[in-house]
Amino acid sequence: MRTVARAGLAASVVLSLGLAACGSSGGSDAAPAKTTIASTAAKGAGGDATTTTAGSGNESSSTTTAPATGGDAICTPLKKISDFDLETAAALKAQKPWPEVQATYIHDTQDVLGAYDEAIAAAEPDIAADLKTLRDFTAPSAEMARNAASLMDLGLALADQDGLMEAGQAGMRLDAYARKTCGFGTSAAGG
């Protein structure tokens, strides 16, 4: 049971990192997760960010507009991280076969690491430290996915990785920062 809990914790952390992973108890009666999709409608400081929240069918959708106070230098790479997270979460929610999910991890990890590098270069020192923590935790994901026989295997490998708790905390701070600064979150889990 502790192993399943660790895999679930790893899944939550990975969602906040932009590399979604999931450990499941196998039930299909869980409430559908909401996904928040945000886009910057105007570039640079002072633009608006439109956020649309959509569920899986039974709940209503809503759109809100919030000021985007961050500039493109930080918000553009954070948006890339957010978009990858949303795409991966959608693939997992659709219960795509492990080989498809695995291929996504293997293929897209370098792009996500590049987005982290861009964000680190543009970020203030405090958030840059969190981005470095997340990048370091994310870096071995492609190799872990390549070696995993299933999504659960990947979740367990991530759960055993050093820095799990630090990465989870950094991911929560980054999500809050992105919501305040750019008008969107970086985590589908924070939706």
Distance CA 101, CA 144 (A): 13
Within a 10 A sphere around the Cβ of 14, how many other Cβ atoms?
31
| Per-residue confidence (pLDDT) for residue 88, from 0 to 100 | 83
Structure tokens at 146: 């390549």
Q: How far apart are CA 166 and CA 153, in angstroms?
A: 21
Higher pLDDT, 14 or 161: 161
> Who contacts 85 (Cβ-Cβ below 8 Å, separation ≥6)?
15, 16, 17, 18, 19, 20, 186, 187, 188
Rounded CA separation 155/167 (Å): 14
In tens, the pLDDT along 148-181 reads: 999 999 999 999 999 999 999 999 999 999 999 9
Cβ contact 140:161 at 8 Å: yes
Distance in angstroms (rounded) separating the CA atoms of residues 191 and 188? 5
Q: Distance (Å, rounded) from C-alpha 19 to C-alpha 110? A: 11
Tell me which amino acid residue 94 is. Answer: A
pTM: 0.66
Average pLDDT over residues 35-59: 35
> What does the alpha-carbon distance between residue 166 and residue 16 come to, in Å, rounded to a whole number?
12
Residue linked to tokens 């679930």: 8
Task: List the alpha helices (DSSP H) in the chain.
Answer: 2-17, 72-93, 98-122, 125-138, 141-147, 151-159, 164-182
Compute the average pLDDT of residues 40-54.
Answer: 35
